[in-house]
Amino acid sequence: MTQENGKTKYYVLMEELKSSILSGKVKAGEKLPSENELSQKYHISRHTVRKALSILIQEGYIVAEHGRGTFCSERMCHLRKSGNIAVITTYISDYIFPRLIQGMDKVMTENGYSIILKNTANSRTREARVLEEILSKDIDGLIIEPSKSQILCRHMNLYGLLEEYHIPYVFIQGVYPQMQEKPHILMDDCQGGYLVTKYLLDMGHENLIGIFKADDFQGKERHKGYVKALQEAGFVYDPDRVVWFHTEDRKSKPALMAGQLLEQGMYIDGIVCYNDQIATDVIGGLEEMGKKVPEDISVTGYDNSLMSAGSLCLTTIAHPQEKLGEMAAELLLEKIREVPEEKSQIPRLIQPELIPGNSVKDRRKQEEK
């Protein structure tokens, strides 16, 4: 039973099979030769073959399926360096996302990696499908913008598989409530919501409404900043002056509800919008009602997406899209290289900056009169 090098026959067979798996000669999901075939090929007993296979099963290199045989574990496709990085965002081609992805691609290309790009349309069901697809590919890491990040994640098992396969991942622009401790890079959206609201208040607005997204982390945080600014200025927070919308009704509800509040007689002199897209839609709705921005009602956005509504340049919050993408890529590279957390050079929170435009009117002089 003992070879010349002092190793038992089953151990020699185990090492040879493991080498074939790690080299890629035997691929993930591929069926191994039967016990009889291995026994005949290596001139050893089936008992010796079973001992070798049992070690590989215990170590997770292979899996035995009753009645079908023994297969190379799917996780083996993740143990070899592929040079591929998966990037999953809610959207790809519009708004802030092209520049965000550009920042990631720049850093990853400089470091010899290629990007596999996917999007979820902000659907949790689609996110789960995309993660399942990604887990079947050769990837070294993942950057993901979570879908509907204010709602509990329902596919924690897939993130568990990422960790089981030792695939590092980084969240951007949001993080699920039960995964706050996972690596992430975020804007300080609470501070951003505070800055635009405070700016309106400082410019003499006293009758604000806020429009926020209910199903993502950013909406919750921006609303928190809105409340903070109101309370700091001595105004009582009124939930009836807040419009909440979801991903599915984002293109219709914000403008519709703002219009309904006005029709119901609510006096509004300023609107804090979740982002620039919503602000642009709301301005269009106000103009259809005969309201002028900013003469009648001031409107703020968020993200500095360079969107405009006619001659208006939105008052907004800077979103360093490309920089955020670069930071996420750099953080992921640290995780791939197993840099200890205490030695990380990447900040986790980006501070917002207010960018005044002409969508806000200075109403302080009206108050003086």
Residues in the chain where the model's pLDDT stays below 50: 1-2, 4, 369
Domain range 9-78, CATH class: mainly alpha
Residue 131 structure tokens: 């993660």
pLDDT of residue 7: 78
pLDDT of residue 366: 61
pLDDT of residue 94: 75
CA angle (14 as vertex; 12, 15 as ends), nearest 5:
65
CA nearest neighbour of 166 among 192, 142, 202 = 142
pLDDT of residue 369: 46
Domain range 189-318+354-368, CATH class: alpha beta
Q: What are the residue ranges spanned by the domains of the chain?
A: 9-78, 84-182+321-350, 189-318+354-368
Query: Is CATH 3.40.50.2300 the classification given to domain 84-182+321-350?
Result: yes
pLDDT of residue 312: 87
Note whether 9-78 and 189-318+354-368 share their fold: no
pLDDT of residue 1: 39
pLDDT of residue 367: 54
